[in-house]
Amino acid sequence: MEAAVLALRRQFPAWGGRKLARVLRNQGHQGVPSPSTVTAILHRHGLIEPEASQAAKHWHRFEHDAPNDLWQMDFKGYFEAEDGSRCDALTVLDDHSRFSLVIHACKQPDAVHVRQALIPAFQRYGLPKRINADNGSPWGCPTDTEQRLSALSVWLIRQGITVTHSAPYHPQTNGKIERFHRSLQAEVLNQHVLSDLAHVQAAFDWWRPIYNRVRPHDSLGEQSPISRYTPSPRPYTAQLPPIEYSPNDIVMTVKDKGWIKFRGHSIRLAGALYKLPVALRPDPDQDGSFQVYFCHQAITRLDLSRTPTSN
């Protein structure tokens, strides 16, 4: 049994006692010791550094009720392959199950590469109800008028997906994907010398099924993410649906650089909305106040008493 523990640890050097014990049981081994005993075996053979023990912590986080209620999306920090080629790893994680939907080695962290990675995921797993991303390019930023909606966000919203953003300077809003990045670093990037971008992607493609189907997850009661994930019933279609609003909405087409003019006021929304229709819905409880919608998503509130009048 000790030999089996050490062999599995050599195969997955970043896994601790709980994961190793669970996988050994899943593989049909009899008499598998407790996780603490497995950890003691690792200590006895010098396979756990003191720093690793200090870093091991339990985290209790909110999770959504069902798969595909929320996907978390982010880039892992940029790194270089052995040949010097840049890699920005795009990752997408289902909040409820921790199922890894995308690990894509991108040459650049831009909207083009994100779309190239998301489309196969949408085709395979369907569409989520909501995607949460960080602030800034290529995601957009709700506190920045000019970048409130990026071209990427516009495309996602037109798919029927609600787009939200982490609070600025609070990456823990996407805490599960931040934890996923630590596992990706420990179990892939720290364990392999990756020669070029294709080699990086091959390593990601090798590890993702292990993470989803084999690797036990502490917060899932040592189950693997596949035990809690099912694809979305909302299918992806390549052709974007028409944009339609209620007959009671005030519909306006966004002009150059994201501007609209309404009742003598010039209001800047987002450049990515150029030539697209938005809807203004009056607030029944506040005269002169309107909620501005793009498709299903409210993007800003317009208060005419506070909006400067155009020249």
Q: Express each pLDDT in 7-51 by its tens digit.
A: 888 888 777 888 888 888 888 888 888 888 888 888 777 776 544
Cβ contact 90:121 at 8 Å: no
What's residue 147's pLDDT? 59
d(CA 142, CA 247): 27
Per-residue confidence (pLDDT) for residue 278, from 0 to 100? 97
The kind and range of the H/E element at 73 are strand 71-75
Q: How far apart are CA 77 and CA 88, in angstroms?
A: 7
At residue 250, the pLDDT reads 96
Q: CA 113, CA 103: separation in Å to the nearest integer?
A: 12
- The residue among 204, 219, 203 whose CA lies nearest residue 98 is 219
Rounded Cα–Cα distance for residues 69 and 63 (Å): 10
End-to-end Cα, the chain, rounded Å: 81
Would you call 249 helix, strand, or coil by DSSP?
Answer: coil
Q: Which domains does the chain carry?
A: 2-55 (no CATH), 71-228 (3.30.420.10), 250-303 (no CATH)
Looking at residue 259, its pLDDT comes to 93
CA atoms within 13 A on the CB side of 308: 3
Are 85 and 197 in contact, with CB atoms under 8 Å apart?
yes
3-state secondary structure of 167: coil
- Compute the distance between CA of residue 85 and CA of residue 197 in angstroms, rounded to an integer: 7
Task: Check residue 143 and give its pLDDT.
Answer: 65
List, for the chain, all residue ranges whose pLDDT scores fall below the cut of 50: 50-60, 169-172, 309-311
Q: How far apart are CA 91 and CA 134, in angstroms?
A: 12
CB-side neighbour CA atoms (13 Å) of 34: 3
Phi, psi of 309 (to 5 degrees): -75, 140
Helices (H), the chain: 2-11, 17-26, 35-44, 50-55, 111-125, 151-158, 175-184, 197-209
User: Do 145 and 302 contact (CB within 8 A), yes or no?
Assistant: no
> How far apart, in whole angstroms, are the C-alpha atoms of residue 236 and residue 224?
26
